[in-house]
């Protein structure tokens, strides 16, 4: 079974839950604090590895870490989930960290990421892992590490006929040449708006934004719509997949990463793309019922059980 190879960053999440965000210069009391593993690439790798439980599939994660206590959190997280680390240790920098504000009443979030060593991931790091990437079923990346490195990974994968997924987060302007390297692009509403300049507040608007991305050379578009599920659109079909609920929403921070990790697994197993979107939605639907990011990712039996009830 060919592996999933993910490029991205790990950060230690420092999560603060409070009634509201403080104003500039203001101090308020928080409700809770938690320290745990995060970073979109790491979270998505954990989601994929967990969703491969018992299938024989493997997920490899290419990144950089410092030599510090936060790096130990990363390695422990990956070992527990079954992620295969492809790590360059960088003694001249630090392992990344993230500030996460969680609104008590809604579970909505605001995030500041400082990537540390992962900000020094270079195209040469991808060249060093070219053989691994070329042998993958899926190559997936995001935009938390430098964009030239993401581009190089996509180039290597595309040239080898490997299916490529770009989760364009955090939102950034991308040129058409980079978008043309992507078999699938998976923005949320705000990321889709950044890429296209079009508002995305409904399924109809998501379809228009998806068409704009298709016109720029993307193979297919999946726009995640929060509580409204996800839209899949390519040049031949358009399908709105409703949200798949697994219970009361506790925290949405890891939902997008759960979706992408689950979607990549289903694609790697040869499922129809719309079925893969549903699998991703189920993965995300379970994750939001739990606190945290990587710790919220469900196992394969949990995902299969939820889908079996539909």
Could you list the mean pLDDT of each consecutive 10-residue stretch along the chain, which spans 310 residues?
Answer: 96 94 97 93 98 96 97 97 97 94 88 92 98 98 97 98 97 95 98 97 97 98 96 98 95 94 98 98 97 93 96
Task: Please check whether residue 232 is in contact with residue 239, taking contact to mean a CB–CB distance below 8 angstroms.
Answer: yes
**Phi/psi of residue 291, each to 5°?**
-80, 160
Give pLDDT tens digits for 97-144. 989 898 999 888 888 889 999 999 999 999 999 999 999 999 999 999
pLDDT at site 298: 98
3-state SS, one letter per residue, for the chain: CCCEEEECCCEEEEEEEECCCCCCCCCCCCCEEEEEEECHHHHHHHHHHHHCCCCCCCEEEEEEECCCHHHHHHHHHHHHHCEEEEEEECCCCCEEEEEEEEECCCCCEEEEEEEEHHHHCCHHHHHHCHHHHHCCCEEEECCCCCHHHHHHHHHHHHHCCCEEEECCCCCCCCCHHHHCCCCEECCEHHHHHHHHCCCCCCHHHHHHHHHHHHHCCCCEEEEECHHHCEEEECCCCEEEECCCCCCCCCCCCCHHHHHHHHHHHHHHCCCCHHHHHHHHHHHHHHHCCCCCCHHHCCCHHHHHHHHHCC
pLDDT at site 292: 84
CA–CA gap between residue 96 and residue 13 (Å, rounded): 9
Claim: this prediction has a pTM higher than 0.75: yes
Q: Tell the CATH topology of 4-8+39-94+118-308.
A: 3.40.1190
Give pLDDT tens digits for 227-238. 999 999 999 999
pLDDT at site 57: 96
pLDDT at site 291: 87
Among all residues, which ones are annotated catalytic?
257
pLDDT at site 109: 84
């Amino acid at each position: 079974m060919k592996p999933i190879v993910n490029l991205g960053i790990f950060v230690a999440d420092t999560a603060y839950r409070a009634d509201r965000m403080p104003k500039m210069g203001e101090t308020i009391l928080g409700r809770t604090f938690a320290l745990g593993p995060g970073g979109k690439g790491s979270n998505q790798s954990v989601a994929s590895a967990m969703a491969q439980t018992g299938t024989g599939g493997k997920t490899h994660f290419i990144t950089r870490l410092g030599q510090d206590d936060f790096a130990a959190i990363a390695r422990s997280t990956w070992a527990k989930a079954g992620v295969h680390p492809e790590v360059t240790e960088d003694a001249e920098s630090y392992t990344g960290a993230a500030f996460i504000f969680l609104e008590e009443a809604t579970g909505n979030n605001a995030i500041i990421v400082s990537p540390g060593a992962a900000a020094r991931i270079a195209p040469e790091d991808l060249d060093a892992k070219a053989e691994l990437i070329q042998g993958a079923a899926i190559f997936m990346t995001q935009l938390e590490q430098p964009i030239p490195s993401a581009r190089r990974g996509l180039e290597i994968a595309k040239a080898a006929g490997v299916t490529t997924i770009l989760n364009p987060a955090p939102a950034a302007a991308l040129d058409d040449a980079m978008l043309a390297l992507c078999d699938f692009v998976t923005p949320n509403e705000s990321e889709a708006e950044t890429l296209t300049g079009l508002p995305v507040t409904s399924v109809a608007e998501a379809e228009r934004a998806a068409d704009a991305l298709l016109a720029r050379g993307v193979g297919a578009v999946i726009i995640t719509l929060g509580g409204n599920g996800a839209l899949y659109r390519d040049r031949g079909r358009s399908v709105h997949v409703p949200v798949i609920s697994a219970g009361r929403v506790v925290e949405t921070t890891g939902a997008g990463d759960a979706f992408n990790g689950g979607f990549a697994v289903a694609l790697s197993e040869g499922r129809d793309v719309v079925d893969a979107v549903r699998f991703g939605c189920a993965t995300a639907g379970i994750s939001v019922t739990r606190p945290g990011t990587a710790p919220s990712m469900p196992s394969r039996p949990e995902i299969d059980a939820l889908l079996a009830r539909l």
